Amino acid sequence: MYMRWPPTLRFIKNTIEFGGGLRGFRRAVCGEWYALWRRRAIYSLLLLIVATLLRAAAAALWERATNTSGDSLQATHANFWPRFAEAARFGLILAEVLTLVIVSGNLPREIASASVRDPLTRRISRSGFMAAKWVLALFIPLLFGFVAVCSAALWSRCWFRPGPIVDEPILYLDDPDATLAYQEFLDQHDLRPEHLAEWYEMTENGTDPREAQRTLGLEPFTLPEGARESWPIPFLVRSEREIRNEVMRGLIGGLPSLLASGLLALTLSVLFGSVLLAVASSLGFVMLAGVFLPPGLGQGSTWWAFPIWLPGMGQRSTLERAQRLADGYSDVVALVPSEVAASWQAPAIAGLLFLLLSQLAFVRKPL
């Protein structure tokens, strides 16, 4: 029985067949993989690792310089989760720039040096060659983003400890004896103020004290009588589970736009024959649509506005929002379901258009 292809899939199928099918696709991918590590990929990865190290170290130095009193209650900005999100966002900004520069400058450089003609004369079709470029354009942002996030997590963990987000207590009567007893109690039971604040909040909401201790993984202890009124126990702003989920959701929410940026760079590298023009147009498009776009224009739902969802430099970066939440800001507006859908739909539509446009332009491009 003859199967009729849907119009969109039939158009993709005809486009690929016009370029000679996917003949030689595996060999083209192997060649791209070999060339990737022969280029600047190693230096780019080292740059990402060093950059996230310096960002995490700067955050640690700033926290120690501002917390001159040595008060252990100032645990919000010294928490792992906001500083990890901050270092990861810094590394992702650099990863996005490196992706645009490397991917957009790759093909024009190969065409200028006539190295593209060699694989095309060895039974590798144009469609197969461009499909290998697709794989490279999707792999590079994934690789750079993964290294940036992992190195940010590693370096942030060296200086900061994870835990809930707390705020300073407001005491009407500052009792030095109560504060001293509070510090001795923390040292005796090996407790951190933020964990005690989370336990206190759970017991205030009706949870059994022993059950709350088991849930948080704390050693059994009993709060002395009158401690709730006189001890400077911090206020719980958000639990560690809430912050962890928000940061992970922020990282995942920026993944589609990160992948689409690689396909954008590849498409512009096909359209422009100059390395300078391809790199400048890629960076210019992302900066204009993602950074300098007026907030009310496009609302992030149109396909060309996908850069505003980039996890690093995007105006509506979900990772930046998660960082602000982890820092304890109360004016952060939650994303509505339509915005969450737009952060996935806009990059998906843009990526599909870039795939088709790059294939159509390359199969007709004189080399």
* Amino acid letter for position 89: R
Q: What is the pLDDT of residues 8-21, one digit of tens each?
A: 555 555 555 544 45
Q: Considering only 69-78, 105-114, 129-138, 238-247, which range has the smallest mean pLDDT?
A: 69-78
Same domain, 265 and 353: yes
Count of the separate structural domains present in the chain: 2
Same domain, 146 and 173: no
257 is written with which tokens? 């736009």
Cα atoms in the 13 Å half-sphere on the side-chain side of 24: 19
Same domain, 223 and 307: no
Same domain, 48 and 28: yes
Same domain, 157 and 301: yes
Q: Considering only 132-146, 150-164, 185-199, 239-253, which range has the smallest mean pLDDT?
A: 185-199
Over residues 344-362, the mean pLDDT reads 89
Q: Cα(319)–Cα(58) distance, rounded to whole angstroms?
A: 19
Query: For the chain, what percent of residues have pLDDT higher than 70?
Result: 83
7 in a domain, yes or no?
Answer: no
Over residues 125-154, the mean pLDDT reads 91
Nearest to 290 by CA among 356, 347, 222: 347
Quote the pLDDT of residue 51.
95
The residue from 187, 205, 233 where one domain ends is 233
* SS3 of residue 290 by DSSP: helix
4 in a domain, yes or no?
Answer: no
Task: Check: CB of residue 279 under 8 Å from CB of residue 101.
Answer: yes
pTM: 0.84
How far is the CA of 271 from the CAs of 2, 18, 275, 279, in angstroms?
37, 18, 11, 12
Quote the pLDDT of residue 53.
95
1 in a domain, yes or no?
Answer: no
Which residue range forms the structural domain that includes residue 252?
Answer: 19-164+242-363
Same domain, 248 and 289: yes
Q: Cα(148)–Cα(46) distance, rounded to whole angstroms?
A: 10
Confidence of residue 140 (pLDDT cuts 50, 70, 90): very high
Q: Give, as one character, the DSSP assignment of residue 79.
A: B
Quote the pLDDT of residue 72.
43
Q: What is the pLDDT of residues 192-244, one digit of tens each?
A: 888 888 888 888 888 888 888 888 888 888 888 777 777 878 878 888 888 89
In this predicted model, which residue has the larger pLDDT, 335 or 64?
64
Same domain, 45 and 131: yes
5 in a domain, yes or no?
Answer: no
Q: Give, as one character, the DSSP assignment of residue 304.
A: G
Q: What is the pLDDT of residues 49-105, one digit of tens each?
A: 999 999 999 988 888 777 654 444 455 567 899 999 999 999 999 999 999 999 998
Nearest to 18 by CA among 363, 366, 365: 363
Confidence of residue 1 (pLDDT cuts 50, 70, 90): very low
* Amino acid letter for position 105: G
Same domain, 278 and 159: yes
Same domain, 312 and 342: yes
